[in-house]
Amino acid sequence: MAEQTLRTLMRTVDVVVTAAISPAAVVAVGLADLYARFPLRVGLGLGGGAISLSSQDTGRGAAATRDEAVTQAIALGALAGIPFAAFGALFGPAAIRLLGADPNVVELGGTYLAVVLLTAPARHVSLIAARSLQGTGDTRTPMYVNAVSNVGNIVGSVGLGLGYFGLPELGVVGVGAATAGANVFTAVVLCLAIASGYTAAGFARPESAVITKQLFVVSTPKIAEGMTSALAEFPFNALLLTFGTNVNAAFQIGRRAYQQVTGPLSRGYSVAANVVVGQALGEGDPKRARYDGWAVAALGLVTVGTIGVALAYFARPLVALLADDPETLRYGTWFARAYGLSAPFLVAFVALSGALQGASETRVPLVARATGMFGFLLGFSYVAGVTLGWGVSGAYWGVALANVWMAAVVAAGFHYGDWATRAADMMAERGGDAEPTD
């Protein structure tokens, strides 16, 4: 959670810096981030496979197969990032123009996208390496490395974006350069930590096709889930742009206010659920795994749910910290309230998705995400906002109902699914002799 707090703070600072530049800069970075989420989703998907196998093999003391899974996942992530780097360099402005943005936004967003996507391979490696270590129970090493990286990113965004600290004022390009530099730093340091023997996980020669297959089996639905979310955001942002540029900016800012105060906790609970469920299954105790999954979700409901309600109550002053334009502030406040009031459902979805991932079951969260994003975030928002004439209010309801639906689907999947048997079968398939663990 501490690691994610700094990461989210870094993204929030980016919004503040771009808001200080111009409203067009906010929209440019927001639209560029729609494309930047594709490599993020691939990295998180492969990281999902890595943490699942890493936690299970740690629980059963199979260090050799764990290390090979870590190595294969990191190598696959680096290779998968290359096409994204090429896309950013060749098609950055065209990608932003496709969303219907004005020429100024196209120029700013295209340049930012090219700079950030250039380090997509490093971003993949950093995400996968961090989750591989978390699967062993080591959440401190990724926290330390990412803390330094994110603080450097924050300083770089302010310095290069606005010209502080004696640095040149590069605007949106400077914000992107700070993010790119942080991506490379994190990837290099985490790989050095794994290779040096400092961490429980290490590198091993890739030899097992079974491990490769299982990484894809677990990661592919996770990647598809993330891609589904990213794809739904394109028409949703286009829908918001039809209501005005300020409405789209308000959505970016309102969601950022929510993510800053609740996102780190939610993502922390997801990792925790993944690790405790995966390790319990590795130790051959599915009953404890089921209890632990529900326990983490309950803890998330109490903490994040309470914070979400508080966010809804104090939404206006929080959003005012990120925007001072009256129209953007008004719409952003209601977006923040929609996210805040549905926070208990979103954290339940995230925590239980992590628990299922620890059991190598990533198909149920995919179904939940796909139906929630296209059925409610996009479908309901369009029908209510355009067809029924609710306007922006339809989007507020679409955001909230999507979170409620996704929580309901994964809760049913975790309660009724036979995920413990699936995990046991996959562990038996990849074999590996149990070894003593610390």
21 — pLDDT class (breaks 50, 70, 90)? confident
pLDDT tens for each residue of 325-337? 788 888 888 888 9
Alpha carbons 218 and 186: distance in angstroms, whole number: 25
User: Region 94-103: what's the mean pLDDT?
Assistant: 83
Label residues 274-301 b or e (16+ Cβ within 10 Å = b): bbbbbbbbbeeebebbbebbbbbbebbb
Alpha carbons 77 and 80: distance in angstroms, whole number: 5
Which region, left, alpha or beta, applies to residue 169 given φ > 0 means left and ψ of -120 to 50 means alpha? beta
Q: Looking at residue 438, what is its pLDDT?
A: 42
pLDDT at 323 over 60: yes
Alpha carbons 198 and 337: distance in angstroms, whole number: 44
pTM equals: 0.81
What percent of the chain shows pLDDT beyond 70?
A: 98
Alpha carbons 323 and 113: distance in angstroms, whole number: 23
Query: Distances from the Cα of 407 to the Cαs of 219, 290, 344, 356, 362, in angstroms?
Result: 21, 17, 9, 13, 14
pLDDT tens for each residue of 47-84? 988 999 999 999 999 899 999 999 999 999 999 999 99
pLDDT at 225 over 70: yes
Label residues 205-217 b or e (16+ Cβ within 10 Å = b): eeebeebbebbeb
Q: Distance from first CA to last CA of the chain, Å, rounded?
A: 24
- Number of residues in the chain: 438
Token duo for residue 255: 């969601």
- Please write down the HEC assignment for all residues of 205-268: CCCCHHHHHHHHHHHHHHHHHHHHHHHHHHHHHHHHHHCCHHHHHHHHHHHHHHHHHHHHHHHH
Alpha carbons 118 and 110: distance in angstroms, whole number: 12
436 — pLDDT class (breaks 50, 70, 90)? very low
pLDDT at 434 over 70: no
Q: At which residue do the structure tokens 């742009």 appear?
A: 241
User: Region 240-258: what's the mean pLDDT?
Assistant: 82
Alpha carbons 32 and 45: distance in angstroms, whole number: 20
User: Region 249-255: what's the mean pLDDT?
Assistant: 82
Q: How high is the mean pLDDT of the chain?
A: 89
Label residues 158-170 b or e (16+ Cβ within 10 Å = b): bbbbbeeeebeeb
Q: Looking at residue 140, what is its pLDDT?
A: 92
Q: Looking at residue 433, what is its pLDDT?
A: 54
User: Region 140-156: what's the mean pLDDT?
Assistant: 92
Q: Looking at residue 432, what is its pLDDT?
A: 63
Contact status, residue 193 vs residue 131, Cβ threshold 8 Å: no
Contact status, residue 294 vs residue 280, Cβ threshold 8 Å: no
Residues 6+ apart with CB under 8 A from 160: 167, 168, 169, 170, 173, 174, 175, 177, 178
